[in-house]
């Protein structure tokens, strides 16, 4: 288990109508990460964060977690469920969903 801090600053020089492109967007987040070992090569990871949107002076939340399968020393398969609410009218990463991916490290 560990606690970290993340600061995101997004800036796009050109506005697009088909994609969220803020001229200046700032978010600060404390994030708590947990990894629970189940057996050798298998664990469950989870993250909880409280992002604070500095532009709007409003907080939000992001919770995600799921199983991780180690396939050797350099390959992992991860799956996560995600629930997020980031304040703002056009913020594209609010909502719920899931993701699965294969990670290869060299």
Share of the chain above pLDDT 90, in %: 60
CA distance 48 to 62: 6
| Statement: residue 67 has pLDDT above 90 | yes
| Statement: residue 89 has pLDDT above 70 | no
Pairing of strands 95-104, 2-10: unpaired
Taking only the tens place, the pLDDT of each residue in 15-61 is: 777 777 777 888 999 999 999 999 999 999 999 999 998 988 999 99
Total domains, the chain: 1
* Residues 21/12, Cβ–Cβ less than 8 Å: yes
Quick one: pLDDT at residue 7? 96
For residue 89, the enclosing domain spans: 2-104
* Residues 102/76, Cβ–Cβ less than 8 Å: yes
* pTM attached to this predicted model: 0.78
Among residues 63, 62, 67, 70, which one has the least CA distance to residue 100? 67
DSSP secondary-structure letter at 6? E
Quick one: pLDDT at residue 92? 63
């Amino acid at each position: 288990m560990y606690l970290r801090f993340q600061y995101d600053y997004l800036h796009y020089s050109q506005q697009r109508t088909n994609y969220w492109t803020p001229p200046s967007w700032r978010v600060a987040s404390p994030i708590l990460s947990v990894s629970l070992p189940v057996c050798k090569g298998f664990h469950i990871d989870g993250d909880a964060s409280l992002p604070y949107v500095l532009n709007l002076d409003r907080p939000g939340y992001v919770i995600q977690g799921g199983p991780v399968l180690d396939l050797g020393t350099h390959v992992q398969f991860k799956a996560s469920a995600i629930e997020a609410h980031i304040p703002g009218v056009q913020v594209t990463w609010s909502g719920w969903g899931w993701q699965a991916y294969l990670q290869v490290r060299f």
